[in-house]
Structure 1
Amino acid sequence: MKIAFVYDVLYPDTIGGVEKRIYEIGKRLAKRGHEVHVFPMTTGSGNEIIRRDGLIIHPVCRPIGLYTGGRRSVFQAVWYALHLFPVLLRIRVDIIDCQNFPYFPIVISRIIGWLRHENYVITWHECWGEFWYQYLGLGGFFGRLTEKFSLLLSHHSIAVSHHTVTRMKAEEKTCEPIIIPNGITLDDITIIQPFTKQVDVIFVGRFIPEKHPELVIEAIRILVHTYPTITCSLIGDGPMMSELQEKIHDYRLSDNIHLEGFIRDYKEVIGRIKSARVFVLPSEREGFGIVCVEALACNVPIVTTQYPLNAACDHVLPGCGYAAMPNAQDIAKGIQMYLFRQPEVSVIHDYIKKHDWDTIVCLLEQTYNKLILSK
């Protein structure tokens, strides 16, 4: 098969869940003999072909900032979509797999699929619904309208989680999406050794308001009265760094909580997770939450929060984690529950096997073949 993945950035040039999924799936499909094309913003021209890790990279346009004022840039999405049209039109493929966000490329992919009589599928990572109004205020009306229009174009669609399917149906999506989750490279995680320095609690993620790293600090502030020597590592970087540093200083938790900064080495991150007793992700919005599956693969229980848009709650398994209310007191309760309790390893083992990238690639390959044959 000739497969086109449409998304505006490429791993490891940028590090995020969607680009990581495309990279891991794409390189495995290439090893299975398929021709895999990707279309990111990158330096070069659309006529220039770059080959990397089995992927055929078509530079669409020069990179511009993805975010404006902490939000995804509408201008960037339109800029990318307009430049995508001539580049994607030149390539003949069997199927176009367009990622749902930032929506405008969906229209371009659908038009080209119609013009060239090519199969297309839209992969949905999140569906926001009413959250658009919280995100953009009155402008959220246009964001939600765009999302609903994209759902109408999603006759063939893939969703990365049951949570996303539920959200899609709430927005009147009638055609049942196929669930093909995100994954992990289980063999690689298994052989990584734990970090030499052990900690009780660990957080990995961007230091941004929607990830709520401050709730981890607040929870440790509660627990330190019972466990004076409790230790915590926060791995990441972002606009909340100064705020977090001030909280740690003001609460006199410098001996308990350490801000490790952004760690690019994936093996080191996994090693640090393996050295922890509890993994905490109090995020209010996760389309999937790969890092929670990675923590489970390290046999580390997870504590996350019951926000409506947090799909990471799907990974809270019996005896392996806690879905807390979004406040420091309940997060502290979840941490305390697993500080001296081992998770149910057999439950974890059965779950993470379903999320190995090799298993997921087989499912996706079967899905593509069915779509092609049904046309």
Structure 2
Amino acid sequence: MKGGVEKRIREVSVRLAERGHEVHVYGMRCWSDPATIERDGVTIHGVALAEALYCGGRRTVPQALRFGRSVLRPLLSSGADVVDCQNFPYFSCFAAKAASALRGFPLVVTWHEVWGDYWYDYLGPRGVFGKAVERLAASLTDHPVAVSPSTARALEGLGVSGPVPVVPNGIDTARIAAVVPAAEESDVVFAGRLIRDKNVDALLRALVPVRDEVPDLRALIVGDGPERPALEALARDLGLDGAVTFTGFFPDHDAVIAAMKASRVFVLPSTREGFGIAALEAMACGLPVVTADRPGNAARDLVRDGVNGFRSGLSAGEMGEKILTCLNRDQENRDLIARIARDFDWVSVTSQVESYYRDLL
């Protein structure tokens, strides 16, 4: 399964190649020999053998260090005009900076998220080291790019001179439009990993007052993760076991889109989102989005209150009220929401990336 970072790299790279640019992608090799392959006009270099990214539920530092060390020599010999390095897992940014200084090409660092004090939640007292590395990485280039206004503001908080340009992530609107709605309809849908930061428990509690107004309420929780057993137990305790269905992960992404198209409101109560592609995909399906109004949730940047959804607190009363308001909207509003999402098509995003590179040169 591809994450938002990997999806951005692929979608932009392929489209840049279609426009006549020579595009090379450097990453860990998760395929058999040869180490360098070509896909869809893009040359992909496996600079080191793939290994587990997580240990005990946390990203492993040795893996990040090995990738950073392994990518230096290929970048030095790349002959690149521009190098765009994704900010995480940081150590590759330092290798790219060294290659940039030695070879003279401009270095872009694309920031998908800034953790800041969240490092202490993630690592406890050791978070001071993660926070320090992040701040140092933010100082490596004069050409940072953020994928959301929230991330741009957080970068300025790290001392990056602003304003930081924002080039968002995107969606394939044509592919989404071609997906047929699922046969099983629902009123409310969530899609994502069932982890603590997604706050699906807040959604379940908000569904209690919603069900008081909509007795035949149907809600889908699409996804899986370590919180699922506790969330299923909470749904039973709240008397929602007949109204809420936990589907697990679907076999392909089109099935997620189909479920969205057969629903009426998408709810993302997450307090940590680097961008919120699932929310944007829901908007492309015409769904209003109710999302958490928290600084760490970049999905709130996509929402215009009262137009394509609402920013909400996590209390059951407030979130439930926002969900009910969305449920009462008509089809005309769905069409407006889908039109707003078209501004984020990958074609438009690629044009913004291309323009930014040209300005550097």
Residue 38 of structure 2 aligns to a residue whose secondary structure is strand
Query: Does residue 105 of structure 2 align to residue 121 of structure 1?
Result: no
1:325 is aligned with what amino acid? G
Residue 48 of structure 1 deviates from its aligned partner by: 2.4
Query: Does residue 45 of structure 2 align to residue 58 of structure 1?
Result: yes
- The CA distance in 1 between the partners of 2:64 and 2:12, in whole Å, is 24
Report what 2:358 is aligned to.
Answer: 369
How many percent of aligned residue pairs carry the same amino acid? 38
Query: Does residue 204 of structure 2 align to residue 217 of structure 1?
Result: yes
Deviates more, 1:260-269 or 1:78-87: 78-87
Report what 1:197 is aligned to.
Answer: 184
Residue 95 of structure 1 deviates from its aligned partner by: 1.0
Q: State which of 328, 345, 348 in structure 2 corresponds to 1:340.
A: 328
2:25 is aligned with what amino acid? V
Cα 1:161–1:355 shift into 2, 3 Å: same
Report what 2:143 is aligned to.
Answer: 156
Report what 1:85 is aligned to.
Answer: 72
Residue 349 of structure 1 deviates from its aligned partner by: 4.8
Query: Does residue 286 of structure 2 align to residue 294 of structure 1?
Result: no
Superposition pairs for residues 24-39 of structure 1, below 5 Å? 24-39=11-26
- The CA distance in 2 between the partners of 1:214 and 1:165, in whole Å, is 29
Report what 1:75 is aligned to.
Answer: 62
Deviates more, 1:82-91 or 1:225-234: 82-91
Give CA deviations for 1:322-375 in whole Å, capped at 9, x if unaligned. 111123332212111111213735653553232111011111111111112xxx
Name stretches of at least 5 consecutive residues in structure 1 with no aligned partner.
Answer: 1-13
Report if aligned partners of 1:273, 1:295 keep a CA contact under 8 Å in 2.
yes
Query: Does residue 315 of structure 2 align to residue 331 of structure 1?
Result: no
Deviates more, 1:23-32 or 1:77-86: 77-86
- The CA distance in 1 between the partners of 2:225 and 2:338, in whole Å, is 33
Residue 303 of structure 1 aligns to a residue whose secondary structure is strand
Report what 2:249 is aligned to.
Answer: 262
Residue 204 of structure 1 deviates from its aligned partner by: 0.4
Report if aligned partners of 1:205, 1:235 keep a CA contact under 8 Å in 2.
yes
Report what 1:236 is aligned to.
Answer: 223
Report if aligned partners of 1:46, 1:87 keep a CA contact under 8 Å in 2.
no
Q: State which of 138, 141, 154 in structure 2 corresponds to 1:167.
A: 154
Residue 75 of structure 1 deviates from its aligned partner by: 2.2
Report what 1:5 is aligned to.
Answer: none
2:181 is aligned with what amino acid? P
1:259 is aligned with what amino acid? F
Deviates more, 1:336-345 or 1:42-51: 42-51
Report what 1:3 is aligned to.
Answer: none
Give CA deviations for 1:43-73 in whole Å, capped at 9, x if unaligned. 4689721112222111122222222332222
Cα 1:361–1:84 shift into 2, 3 Å: same
Cα 1:346–1:196 shift into 2, 3 Å: closer
Report what 2:117 is aligned to.
Answer: 130
- The CA distance in 1 between the partners of 2:104 and 2:141, in whole Å, is 16
Q: State which of 343, 354, 357 in structure 2 corresponds to 1:354.
A: 343
Residue 40 of structure 1 aligns to a residue whose secondary structure is strand
Report what 1:11 is aligned to.
Answer: none
Aligned residues: 359
Normalised TM-score (structure 1):
0.90
1:282 is aligned with what amino acid? P
Report what 1:102 is aligned to.
Answer: 89
Deviates more, 1:46-55 or 1:233-242: 46-55
Residue 125 of structure 1 deviates from its aligned partner by: 0.9
Deviates more, 1:336-345 or 1:96-105: 336-345
- The CA distance in 2 between the partners of 1:307 and 1:77, in whole Å, is 29
Report if aligned partners of 1:44, 1:61 keep a CA contact under 8 Å in 2.
no
Name stretches of at least 5 consecutive residues in structure 2 with no aligned partner.
Answer: none
Report if aligned partners of 2:220, 2:246 keep a CA contact under 8 Å in 1.
yes
Give CA deviations for 1:89-122 in whole Å, capped at 9, x if unaligned. 3322111100111111100011011112222100
2:288 is aligned with what amino acid? P
- The CA distance in 1 between the partners of 2:82 and 2:260, in whole Å, is 38
Give CA deviations for 1:256-290 in whole Å, capped at 9, x if unaligned. 11111111312211111011110000001111111
